[in-house]
Chains A and B, each alone.
Chain A
């Protein structure tokens, strides 16, 4: 199965050194499948599909968006800028 690297933000970045986690996903996985794979690999990610947003290649992506090969994926919890 392909492996994708997910860039973590907010408190999730404290879970892994460098704020990066590798997760195995089905070929041509959707964002939703990547979220499910994260939760299956580490229960601290349970619920992220509904609680967080995701970005693919530095743009917000819906849960149904496909993740291209070698894409940059980011997990984006609710923001607090300003």
Chain B
């Protein structure tokens, strides 16, 4: 059964993979998105993820449910919001399946669709100031 989490707390691969596992599954795999120290040629010191929480939760669940309708898998998606430091995990997609091929396909589809549709935004802060990331664009943010 699909399971999604949108949280300000730390998310971990073992917790997500446990939810994606079953005795009938021979494959469990995970994608982790990690906060990196550069973006668009600029140095990044830390990130804040802003979420439109009710719609982000319903979109995450829609994506996980659609993945389970398209492939014979269990889909688990966890996304953090709030402030994250460099190296912290921001998103995890864990997929369980009887065999590896649908697991890889479903995992790729879930993270790609999440990046198009789930209303969450990065606000990157570095030596050059803070910037909202909106799709491919970076927009200078007001100081806080």
Do A and B truly interact?
A: yes
Interface residues of chain A, those whose CB is within 8 Å of chain B, are: 7, 9-11, 13-14, 55, 58-60, 74, 76-82
B142 to chain A, nearest CB (A): 4
Secondary structure type dominating chain A contacts? mixed
Q: Interface readout for B25-53 with A: 1 if CB under 8 Å, 0 if not?
A: 00000000100000000000000011110
Per the bound structure, the CA–CA distance linking A74 and B115 in Å amounts to 19
List the B residue with the shortest CB-CB distance to A14.
B142
A60 to B119, CA, bound (A): 10
Beyond A9-B121, A11-B132, 9 additional contacts (C-beta under 8 Å) are A9-B50, A10-B121, A11-B139, A58-B58, A76-B55, A77-B121, A78-B135, A82-B79, A82-B90
Shortest CB-to-CB span from B96 to chain A, Å, is 21
* Set of chain B residues within 8 Å of A7, measured between Cβ atoms: 52
Q: Which residues of B contact A59 (CB under 8 A)?
A: 55, 58
- State the Cβ distance, A56 to closest chain B Cβ, in Å: 10
Partner of B115 from the list A13, A76, A82 (CB cut-off 8 Å) is A82
What's the least CB distance linking A68 to chain B, in Å? 17
Interface residues of B in 98-134 (CB under 8 A from A): 111, 114-122, 132-134
Name B's A-contacting residues (CB within 8 A).
33, 49-52, 54-56, 58, 79, 90-91, 111, 114-122, 132-137, 139-142
Cβ-defined contact, B49 with A76, below 8 A = no
Contact at B55–A81, with CB atoms within 8 Å? Answer: no
Chain A residues closer than 8 Å to B50, beta-carbon distance: 9-10, 13
| Minimal Cβ-Cβ distance residue in B for A74 | B52
Q: Are B90 and A76 in contact (CB under 8 A)?
A: no
A72 CB, min distance to chain B CBs, angstroms: 9
Q: What is the distance, in angstroms, from A3's C-beta to the closest C-beta of chain B?
A: 21
In the complex, 12 of the A-B residue pairs with CB atoms within 8 angstroms, ordered by the A residue number, are A13-B50, A58-B55, A58-B58, A77-B121, A78-B135, A78-B136, A79-B115, A79-B118, A79-B119, A80-B135, A81-B51, A81-B91
User: Cβ of B91 and Cβ of A76 under 8 Å apart?
Assistant: no
Known: A14-B142, A79-B118, A79-B120. A74 touches B135 (CB 8 A): no
